[in-house]
Amino acid sequence: MDEINFFPDNLDVQNQKVILRLDLNVPLRDKIIQDDTRIVLCLPLIKRLVEKKAKIIIISHLGRPKGIKVPELSLIPIYKYLKKSLPTNVYFYMGNLDEDAQDKFSHLKEGEIILIENIRYFKEESNNDEDFAKRLSSLGDIYINDAFSCSHRKQASIHNITKFIKKSFAGPLLKKEINAINLVIQNKKEPVTCIIGGSKISTKINVISSLIEKVNNLVIVGAMANNFFIYKNLKIGKSLVEENTNEIIRTIYEKANKNKCKIIIPEDCMVGSSFTSDGINKDINTIEDNDIILDIGTKTIEILKKIIDQSKTVLWNGPAGYFENENFLIGTMSIAEAISKNTVENSLISILGGGDTMAAIKQSKNKLFFTHLSTAGGAFLEYLEGKDLPGLSVLK
Ligand code: 3PG
Ligand code: MG
């Protein structure tokens, strides 16, 4: 297998325009950053490039604006954060990516930074548009992808851009991520438990189907579980659910049977009448029309703790509940604490990932320990599946 081309730290980049694709997709509420982990992890490379006197052009997406300039998804709060954290001039570019941009970017001085506004404001980004990728590439001399968490996306600033730029590399954070995940894959011990939650159902449901061959227990929590309840003809009230997933869930159960993989779904849950309400613990058979399922219940937490205690490897992506309201953070926190305890006391191999999972467990009052904490959610799962991620294959 070809090796990924990593950015050599000794490469002379002085006066070179370096396009840096980062994942600065952090959770925001009222334009305030709720968890800066992803940004903090990017800072060492940016600082290193400043020291090396490169001219740095940063690209990132935020959320999924689908080619529309949604003001709530502007990178301005992140720009302000970078400006405060970096010892150099940081500029923000909100214009189109045309000749005008090229001209403006050519005024950048050594060691200075320009952050481009949310790249998904351009529909060409998500379409992996060749012409757009070419225009992006023309802004720089060297390309570095340090966004492992976006590398499963076949999008212009991740994929096609590498066709048109002279030199493309993977950055140090990306390297650290895949080395850590490779280590876990190579050393994983059975029983292996995979816990999948969160709300990005459609992007994960296919991954589940192929993970079944690799794990002993598959635990489904979060909004993902709602689809399984529907499949089992259980009522879910007003809870979040994806349409038409029964067929794929049927295949999941069939495959699980064949591969002797146990599927565990919640037996009880915390429901609210709205996202801001208090929670009531209800058995999964007793959900009413106005209920919204917002966390796993106490009985389920105990079941999951036992499963984690008995596992030798745990892979986890996606929170168990609507953690933004602390009334529904308990499930996620209980899972995190059980994994952390077993990592310390029983040499459990643990790896967890995803922006939301990270943001949720950051609220813990205790220090938590894991074998590896990944910035990536979807990319992490697809990498575990053994897929060749589009953003990585172009760096080989
Ligand atoms: C993430 O948060 O998982 C990454 O930033 C990728 O975002 P996406 O799932 O919207 O492509
Ligand atoms: Mg995310």
pLDDT digits (tens, 9 = 90+) for 219-244: 999 999 999 999 999 999 999 998 88
Phi, psi dihedral angles at 19 (to 5 degrees): -90, 120
38 lines ligand 1 (CB under 6 A): no
CA 103 / ligand 1 centre spacing (Å): 31
Distances in Å between the Cα of 5 and the Cα atoms of 8, 14, 80 are: 9, 20, 32
How far is 375 from 355, CA to CA, in rounded Å? 6
Q: Whose CA is nearest to atom 9 of ligand 1?
A: 378
Percent of the chain at pLDDT exceeding 90: 87
Tens of pLDDT, residues 320-341: 999 999 999 999 999 999 999 9
Residue 130's CB: how many other CB atoms inside 10 A?
14
Q: List pLDDT tens digits, range 66-117.
A: 999 999 999 999 999 999 999 999 999 999 998 889 888 999 999 999 999 9
> Distance from the CA of 37 to the center of ligand 2, in angstroms?
12
* Percent of the chain clearing pLDDT 70 (strictly above): 100
Q: Is 65 in the pocket of ligand 1 (CB under 6 A)?
A: no
Give the mean model confidence (pLDDT) for residues 16-37: 95
- State the pLDDT at residue 105: 92
Give the atom of ligand 1 at the shortest distance from the alpha carbon of 200: 9
Ligand having the closest approach to the CA of 382: 1
Q: What is the mean pLDDT of the chain?
A: 95
Active site amino acids: 38, 200, 355, 378
Nearest CA to 166 out of 26, 17, 321 is that of 17
Among the ranges 88-102, 207-221, 289-303, which has the highest mean pLDDT value? 289-303
* Cα angle value 201/173/178 (rounded, 5°): 60
Ion ligand 2: residues, CB < 5 A:
355
Are 88 and 113 in contact by the 8 Å Cβ rule? The answer is yes
**Ligand 1 pocket mutation, candidates 34, 118, 150, 159, criterion most atoms within 8 A of CB:** 150
> How would residue 208 be classed by pLDDT, with cut points 50, 70 and 90?
confident
Using DSSP, state whether 15 is helix, strand or coil: coil
